[in-house]
Structure 1
Amino acid sequence: MREKNIVDGLINSIKYNYNKQAIITDDKSITYEEMGNKVDKMARYFKVNGIKKTSHVAIYMTRSCEMIISILAVLKLGAVYIPLDPDYPDCRINYIIENSNTEFIISNLNEACFTFKKELKCINVNSAINDYSLKLNTKIDGCDPAILIYTSGSTGKPKGIVLSHENLASSLKNTYDLIGIKPLERVLIKSSICFIVSIHEIFWPLIYGGTIVVSNQNDEKDPRKLIDIINRHNVNIAFFVPSLLQQLFKERQEEKLKSIKKIICMGETLFKEIVEEFYDKLNTSQIFNGYGMTEVAGFSMVHKCSKTEEENIPIGEKGLEIDAYILDENRNIVKDGEYGKLYIDGKCLCSTYYKSNEFQSRCIEDTSICNHKLFSTNDILMKKGNRYYYKGRSDELIKIRGNRVELMEIENTILNCQYVEDAAVVVTKSDNKKIMAFIVKSDNYDGNIIERVEDEVKNNLTDYMYPNKYFLIDEMPKLPNGKKDRNSLAIQNSQVKNKTSTTSILRNPMERFLYALYVDVLQCSEIDIESDFFENGGNSIEVMEVLRIINEVCNVNISVKQFVGESKIQNIAEFIKEKQAGFFKYNKLKVKDFCKGYFINEPFELTELQESYLFDRNSGINTSKINTASYVELKLIHYDKEKFINAIKKLMHRHPMLCASFTKDNKQKFNEECEYNDFLQEINLRNVSIAQRNKLILKAKENLFSYNNKSYSYPLFKIIINKMDNEEPVAQIFFDGLIVDGKSINIFIRDLETFLSRPNIEVTRFKHSFYDYISYKKWIKTTDKYKAAQKYWVNKIENMQFDLELPLLNNPEKIENMTGAQERLELSDEKYDDFCKSCAQFGVSPFVTMLTIFALIMAKWNRKQKFVICIPQADRPDFSDEFQNMVGEYSNFILFKFERKEDESFVDLAKRNQKTLWEAKNNSAFTGTELLREMDKVNNGIGTGIVPVVFTSILDNSKYETSFEVNYIESHTSNIYLDVVD
């Protein structure tokens, strides 16, 4: 760019690129010629409304084509545009308007001016009249101001930086020289116009013949939306902070990013691992590491990263438009390879801060170095050859997710809050910077000072400046010179509890999952479940990571905005449940479509898992001689036979699957309730020794599990009541696995206690039944969700390895009787809580931890370190809460691929297993049984019909002390013994 002002550069670009695309949005596309005409018409409209050269004009607009046109029109009149973000708090916006001497507000929002304190003229572009014929001949010089942009200020208020047309033109040329852009290459606009990078997103492409693709307001907060717009509009170039780029890759949709040619990173440390992942996923693209600041209108240095980068990636080589010197404390130029403070100058450097002498105070003039003033960046850098390396800051300014933040602005905002005696703000030293606020409250205030401070912060600061955690302390630690001991406060961060700790109990698996997820993403040992995600230290980038995992695992689509309002663990758990139920509404599924309910003697289909169990049982190939079944042992308190039978009959009435049987043509049906002697048997053990009694009870249990029922009769549960001298009877209850899953056992026990303790309670039958579940399973197979899961699993068939090579002493097929060696091990509630906390500390769930232990044991004895584990999982539909309280085989299983790698720690392995399991669960609409059938087709039915390793668990934390005590719960499945859990 040879021109010294932006307007002449744009005029020439329109002249040479008149028929090429200039701006693309979701609903329109305009050429350079059309853009030029719209700018001229808008400029005339603004001129009629009083805007002239040097007018201060605030742009208060959502991101859109009209926003771009309005900015260009303001510049064409020689006026100064002041960017305002509608998402900023009113106090901050009003301060900027007042401090900048804003005269006009341009907006596309209805009644925008009503929020402003100062009286000024508001021009709504939605009602613009574009038929004026005024001449536009404003002469613009390079030294004329173009933009007054506000950043975080050390005085406690935002500071304005004045950038001239020459500053912008020089900075854009610098970026062009360092990165390059070709005509028609598409650049994504996703940044707030209050950030300096927006200058390069908007003007850089338009000056050099490129095309800008305008994302919608707040799309930058959702990686999936960014991926979508990149894919739909074939975006070639984009600017990203590294942490946001990582979030894009975590979506695992790199095939939608193939149009990307160049990614420019800035604002955060770019790590070698991110560069390696970038080239692994987009190996024909380029990634750049950029360095700059608002004072130079963007980039002053850029480094093109190679596929084999050094550990400390350079921030770049400087452009021709800038002079750079690294000086020591005595203002001497440091040697190559030594650190010092960076001083800069050049045509892209601004000349002043607005209404402030701070810029001049940071400039030095030393003729021994150069013949002009140098501006101190306060950044500590090192130079090796032509490359510059960043170390840190020498002041209180930091970068949070690419945003410039002065800690003193936050601190002064807190100090201005009534009843705050003292305050200090520090930042953690980790790569993922967190802002911590420490507060000493006035002695005469007994209220919640942290809530007051939070309100004050939200009313005055932008969201990226909010402290991640607030700490109430008794007194401020001081250094001998009387200054605040900020290093001491940083150490206290790991010792002080955040707000008030809680002993609230996580109520269900979803809340436990969310707790482990929060702990993992926030990288802390524990969190307060009564506080929301942000009060526990979360930020916007971490929200994206949490939402990515929640949306994947739970098959929901929760937006950032929805999450922000519901981010307490209990709230978001309930919200997820509602969203999952909404999946059916979205697909126009009505409850009545599944609502046939209960009926007698009418056969209906089986689930894939029931079919598998029946085939195993009836085909004669069951090598274990053990049926899929569950067993419960109860110590009955005040046993009354009539009362007990009455309770069981009520259970059968409430849960029709207890009356189910199976036909020879592989169907199932509900039957009339049977007589008690069909399911109940009493055994007299009164005159039997304790040893013999225990032996007989154990033998009865083994007989129940080996019971060869062809499933044509019913009921498919049996109860033995063992009566004994001077002791409560012991009930042995056996359930065929065809009619119950793990949760059904706990439902049965819970309802049995209810009917025993309240014998006169009226029993109501559910509106739904297992028949409706079968209808639901049929419907699932018509959804896109199912088809995507089917494609996912079928594509993995070639890499699934089932065969184990265990050191067997005997051929299992020759073993006549197979029983498992059972050990009774117990964990107290306290020890189990400690175990869960330890798991959460490392960001993995207790289930995944136990799964990893189990897999490592199998790997120890297996000659292969890669195999598949079958994991049964609950499959109860959410379109009706009734299914959470019904007895039935509401489950399927997923196939989990385990692979042990050398030199991988247990924690890293567990985390990898957790991600693998989440991905598998996300695609569990296509069941493991269906996958095995597909594998049979591929392998011609050889060796893939049986999964030899199964991992499952049944947890029962319930106490039933009124009518009985639960002694023992055990589950078996065909081909392998599963587990025993008390």
Structure 2
Amino acid sequence: VTLFMLLLGAFNVLLHRYTGQGDIRVGVPIANRNRTEVEGLIGFFVNTQVLRTELTGQTRVAELLQGIKEHALGAQAHQELPFERLVEALKIERSLSHTPLFQVMYNHQPVVADIASVSTASGLELALVEWQGRTTQFDLTLDTYEKSGTLHAALTYANDLFDTPTIERMARHWTRLLQAMVLDGEQRIGELPMLDAAEQQRLVHSWNQTTEAYPTERGIHHLIEDQARRSPDAPALVFGTTTLTYAQLDARANQLAHALGEQGVGPDVLVGICIERSIEMVVGLLAILKAGGAYVPLDPEYPQERLAYMIEDSGIQLLLSQQSLLASLPVAGIQLIALDQPALWLDGYSRESPNVALNALNLAYVIYTSGSTGKPKGAGNSHRAVVNRLSWMQQAYGLGANDAVLQKTPFSFDVSVWEFFWPLMTGARLVVAAPGEHREPARLIDTIGRHAITTLHFVPSMLQAFIHEPGVQACASLTRIVCSGEALPLDAQQQVFAKLPAAALYNLYGPTEAAIDVTHWTCIDEGADSVPIGRPIANLGTYVLDAQLNPVPAGVSGELYLGGVGLARSYHRRPALTAERFVPSPFVTGERLYRTGDRVRQRADGVIEYLGRLDHQVKLRGLRIELGEIEARLMQHPHVREAVVLVQGGKPLIAYLVHAGEAPTDLKAWLLGSLPEYMVPTHFIALPKLPVTANGKLDRKALPAPDAAQPQAFVAPQGDLQTALAAIWSDVLGVEQVGQDDNFFELGGDSI
């Protein structure tokens, strides 16, 4: 019994470490003990029992083994109950793809006779024949048996789920766990060693050999000033029909920087900037950096309430904007400067660079992202982190004087940082798209052609709209297309290869908390079923860990942690949240790791594949959305008692509500007063109560799909025009039926 407990216990720990699940269910065959009832019969008289083990990384080995013993003895007390009756009683949904209740089997035989030593009176000769199973009923089966005083084990696996190297590695890990459990029953299972030294070295160190020497002790603006001295007369900034040379841009930014210095701007002083894309936007951003300050981008399309919160939370005392926006900004007590006022007001200021003592760890910007507590949070990144990121990008992709980068990403999204500053530090042209142009593929195609754009960024959803736009093949000047912000679909990659063969496609990944991007992948047609996010960029480290911060083996999913010089300094004015998300590194003394909340796995070559989120954060159109922020805001409505928001059934955002009293009729307009448009749900579904699981938790899978929750009479389209339009909507939105009374946006449409 003790050996059985130990072997099964180690197997349970292995499954826990490989899957990250705390509820492990293993099938165990039990021979029928009523031999008199089946004597004389031929057949398979083994019943299967399900041994369920609940464990965490804090569970001690002795506690685990005692629990297995109790569960096994309890199960054997009811072993006459056939497994099929158990499945029927529990009303388990049956599937041809897997067995119910469990997918892993464990079978132990205490003693197996040595066939070679068996003799027969009849003279029959017995010989041992090697047997190889060709089929398996389960995803994975572990067989152990005792023979001639030795313990033997075999793993049988479904080869459409596992490959041989993975199973061989799993066998080694099980053996190491078993050895560690024998040594000390008081160890916590999350601390049991599973990897050997070579595997630990490869996962933690070898795949993170990214050291490069970059000028990270200098500020972003210093690198741009260097370029202005090298090519003063070269075109630097283009917006509409206006072009500034490097010398002109540098001089205007210097003058504004001196003016900002008079207003108290210096190292680590935050300066707000709320302005539409324009020449003044770029001059303003560069001037803030030259003055030693850090900019806080405030999107003028945000609701007044959200802008007011960001202004108050950031603590800015100075806001740069434009004359058309001044009257509408919630800026009581804040000093305002309109950057588009007549330029004469700067004439008295020096055109030379300000002499500001700057530390590489001083902030360059604070960008606000959605927050799970109901309020956005600001992540502050240093000059060192950004310079490292931009220097790596130049080393990897090499911009030159003949290149033109299109800046079209809203500056409240951190991708805009490299769009603004990478071309200016390398002698390329920065072409700023007109306001709103980033949403219209046809206008983008025209801009790319007029300005001979070579490099631009897309979130994958926008890339898909762009690549299907008629005439996209005319964008022959494109040599680099950079994607990030969302998972890149394989189909989008293939479409780029087919329609823009001269353009290299790069898939980058990174959170706002780690200076734009932390991994990179050059897209190739390698026959895979997804597009990886790649390997860490220079001076960054990536670690795939379990809940106890143990590295997980290649091929096993875990949470992605980030380390190195790219990490943000902190969340602005949120020390508790900073401590929760930025944790001490168990691998490098004195360094921090950032917990991304992203679930990934590493291939055998170290390349990282993105699998999804571990929480309820989502990304729509490349913008991070904490669903908890929307839920918290909904709960503030006087007629909403409960609320849950999710993405389901191909629709963007769906809100499920339990009303308090009369049903609210103004929820969309009410939310738009405090949340940006992309965070307002498309569907609002009223329920008498939210579904819960047996343990009282919200059962998200039981929430009804929008069409099922809000049935309405279908009115068929009439005439050729309506029929054609309905067919287009059906194809684009992926819905089966479109009627006369349907609303494009409520069906899931958006501006893209």
Pair 1:65-2:285 in alignment = no
The alpha-carbon distance between structure 1 residues 168 and 247, as it changes in their structure 2 partners (threshold 3 A), is same
* Residue 3 of structure 1, CA deviation: 4.3
Does 2:291 match 1:77?
Answer: yes
Distance 1:256 1:42, change over 3 A: farther
Structure of higher CA gyration radius: 1
What residue in structure 1 maps to residue 592 of structure 2?
373
- Provide the residue aligned with 2:355 in structure 1: 137
For 1:182, which of 380, 400, 420 is the aligned residue? 400
CA shift, 1:297, in A, is 1.6
Q: Is the 8 A contact 2:717 2:739 kept in 1?
A: no
Counterpart of 1:363 in structure 2 is 582
Give, in whole Å, the separation in 2 of the partners of 1:352 and 1:368.
Answer: 21
Distance 1:371 1:140 in 2: 24
> Residue in 1 aligned with 2:462?
244
Residue 237 (structure 2) pairs with residue 17 (structure 1): no
Q: Any idea what SS the aligned residue of 1:157 has? A: coil
How far has the Cα of 1:55 moved from its partner? 3.1
Distance between the aligned counterparts of 1:133 and 1:277, measured in 2? 51
1:532 equivalent in structure 2: 743
SS state at 1:390 partner: strand
Secondary structure, aligned partner of 1:331 = coil
- Whether the 8 Å CA contact 2:690–2:698 is kept in 1: the answer is yes
Choose which of 404, 413, 417 in structure 1 pairs with 2:633: 413
Alignment partner of 1:517 out of 708, 728, 734:
728
Question: How many Å separate the matches in 1 of 2:683 and 2:491?
Answer: 29
Partner residue in 1 for 2:602: 383
Aligned match of 2:388 = 170
Which digits, 9 at most, give the CA deviation of each residue in 1:898-954, with x for residues without a partner?
A: xxxxxxxxxxxxxxxxxxxxxxxxxxxxxxxxxxxxxxxxxxxxxxxxxxxxxxxxx
Please state if 1:338 is matched with 2:551: no
Checking the alignment, whether the CA contact within 8 Å between 1:66 and 1:125 is kept in structure 2 is yes
- Conservation of the 8 A alpha-carbon contact between 2:651 and 2:748: no
Deviation of the 1:215 alpha carbon: 0.3
Shift of 1:137: 1.4
Q: Which amino acid aligns with 2:554?
A: D
The 3 A distance-change label for structure 1 pair 271 and 536 is closer
Q: Distance in 2 between matches of 1:369 and 1:334?
A: 17
Q: Partner residue of 2:507?
A: 289
Name the CA distance, whole Å, in 2 between partners of 1:95 and 1:370: 37
Q: Is there any run of 5+ residues in structure 1 with no aligned partner, and where?
A: 542-982
Is the counterpart of residue 26 in structure 1 residue 244 in structure 2? no
Task: Give, in whole Å, the separation in 2 of the partners of 1:275 and 1:305.
Answer: 7
What's the counterpart of residue 646 of structure 2? 426
> Residues 211-250 of structure 1: matches in 2 within 5 Å?
211-250=429-468
Contact 2:513 2:568 in 1 (8 A): yes
Question: Compared with structure 1, are the counterparts of its residues 347 and 433 closer, same or farther at alpha carbon in structure 2 (3 Å cutoff)?
Answer: farther
Which string of whole-angstrom CA distances, capped at 9 and with x for unpartnered residues, describes residues 644-692 of structure 1?
A: xxxxxxxxxxxxxxxxxxxxxxxxxxxxxxxxxxxxxxxxxxxxxxxxx
In 1, distance between residues paired with 2:577 and 2:399?
A: 36
For residue 480 of structure 1, the aligned residue among 673, 694, 699 is: 694
Q: Which moved more, 1:210-219 or 1:47-56?
A: 47-56
1:826-905 paired onto structure 2 within 5 Å: none
Is the partner of 1:115 in helix, strand or coil?
Answer: coil
Other structure's SS at 1:298 match: coil
Instruction: Give the C-alpha shift of residue 535 in structure 1.
Output: 2.3
Structure 1 position 504, deviation (Å): 5.0
Whether 2:314 is the aligned partner of 1:100: answer yes
- Alpha-carbon distance in 1 for matches of 2:647, 2:236: 42
Paired position in structure 2 for 1:195: 413
Paired residue secondary structure (2:610) = strand
Distance 1:412 1:367 in 2: 35
Residue 395 (str. 1) matches residue 611 (str. 2) = no
Query: 1:367–1:265: structure 2 CA closer, same or farther, 3 Å change rule?
Result: closer
Residues in 1 aligned to 2:236 and 2:378: alpha-carbon distance in whole angstroms: 30
The two structures, once aligned, show a CA RMSD in angstroms of 2.1
Q: Is the 8 A contact 1:184 1:210 kept in 2?
A: yes
CA contact (8 A) 1:177 1:319 kept: no
Contact 2:259 2:349 in 1 (8 A): no
Change beyond 3 A, Cα 1:366–1:299: closer
State whether residues 265 and 287 of structure 1, in contact with CA within 8 Å, keep that contact through their aligned partners in structure 2: yes
Matches within 5 A, 1:497-646: 497=710, 501-502=712-713, 506=717, 508-527=719-738, 529-530=740-741, 532-541=743-752
**Among residues 255, 260, 274, which one is paired with 1:46 in the alignment?**
260
Cα deviation 1:182-238 (Å, max 9, x = unaligned): 333111100100001000100111122221110000101110011110010000001
Aligned equivalent of 2:215 = 2
Aligned residues of 2:598 and 2:613 also touching (Cα < 8 A): yes
SS of residue in 1 equivalent to 2:319? strand
Per-residue CA shift, 1:135-173, capped at 9, x if unaligned?
721111111111111001110111111111112112212
1:464 maps to what in 2?
A: 678
What's 1:56 paired with?
A: 270
Q: Residue 14 of structure 1: SS of its match in structure 2? A: helix
Following superposition, the deviation at residue 391 of structure 1 comes to 0.5
Q: Tell me how far 1:123 sits from its aligned partner.
A: 0.5
Whether the 8 Å contact between 1:440 and 1:473 is mirrored in structure 2 is: yes
Shift of 1:24: 1.2
Residue 418 of structure 1 aligns to which amino acid in structure 2? P
Question: Is the contact made by 1:246 and 1:274 (CA closer than 8 Å) also made in structure 2?
Answer: yes
Quote the Cα distance in structure 1 between the aligned partners of 2:253 and 2:590.
41
| CA shift digits 1:851-880 (9 cap, x unpaired) | xxxxxxxxxxxxxxxxxxxxxxxxxxxxxx
Q: Secondary structure at the match of 2:666?
A: helix
Closer/same/farther in 2, CA of residues 433 and 515 from structure 1, 3 Å limit: closer
CA distance in 1, matches of 2:440, 2:571: 34
Paired positions, count:
532
**1:344-393 deviation per Cα after TM superposition (whole angstroms, max 9, x unaligned):** 11111012101212121123325456552211111111112131111011
Write out aligned runs for 1:613-762 (5 A).
none
Structure 2 contact 216–385 (Cα < 8 Å) conserved: no
- 1:55/1:320 CA distance change after superposition, 3 Å: closer
Report the counterpart of residue 81 of structure 2 in structure 1: none
User: Does structure 1 conserve the Cα–Cα contact (< 8 Å) formed by 2:652 and 2:748?
Assistant: yes
Q: Can you list the C-alpha shifts for 1:422-467, whole angstroms capped at 9, x where unaligned? A: 1111122x6x562211011113x1x5x2x32211221111122121
Task: Name the SS for the 1:495 alignment partner.
Answer: helix
Q: Compared with structure 1, are the counterparts of its residues 360 and 529 closer, same or farther at alpha carbon in structure 2 (3 Å cutoff)?
A: farther
Question: Could you tell me whether the CA contact under 8 Å between 2:439 and 2:751 is conserved in 1?
Answer: yes
In structure 1, how many angstroms separate the alpha carbons of the residues matched to 2:645 and 2:459? Answer: 24
Bigger mean CA deviation after superposition, 503-512 or 97-106: 503-512
The CA distance in 1 between the partners of 2:318 and 2:474, in whole Å, is: 42
Structure 1 residue 482: Cα displacement: 3.0
Distance 1:364 1:202 in 2: 31
**1:275 and 2:493 correspond:** yes
Find the aligned partners of 2:524 and 2:595 in 1 and give their Cα distance: 30
State the 1:518 CA deviation: 2.2
Distance in structure 2 (CA, Å) of the matches to 1:487 and 1:255: 42
Q: Answer yes or no: is 1:439 the counterpart of 2:657.
A: yes
Determine if contact 2:265/2:292 at 8 Å carries over to the other structure.
Answer: no
1:460 match: secondary structure: coil
Distance 1:195 1:245, change over 3 A: same
1:538 aligned partner, one-letter code: G
SS state at 1:188 partner = strand
- Contact 2:554 2:606 (C-alpha < 8 Å) held by counterparts: no
Q: Please report how far the alpha carbon of residue 249 of structure 1 lies from its aligned counterpart in structure 2 after TM superposition.
A: 2.2
Which residue is 1:265 aligned to?
483
Cα deviation for residue 502 of structure 1 reads 4.2
TM-score (norm 1): 0.52
Deviation at residue 111 of structure 1 after TM alignment: 4.9
Corresponding letter in the other structure for 1:407: L
Say whether the 8 Å CA contact 2:561–2:594 is kept in structure 1.
yes
CA distance in 2 between partners of 1:50 and 1:298 (Å): 28
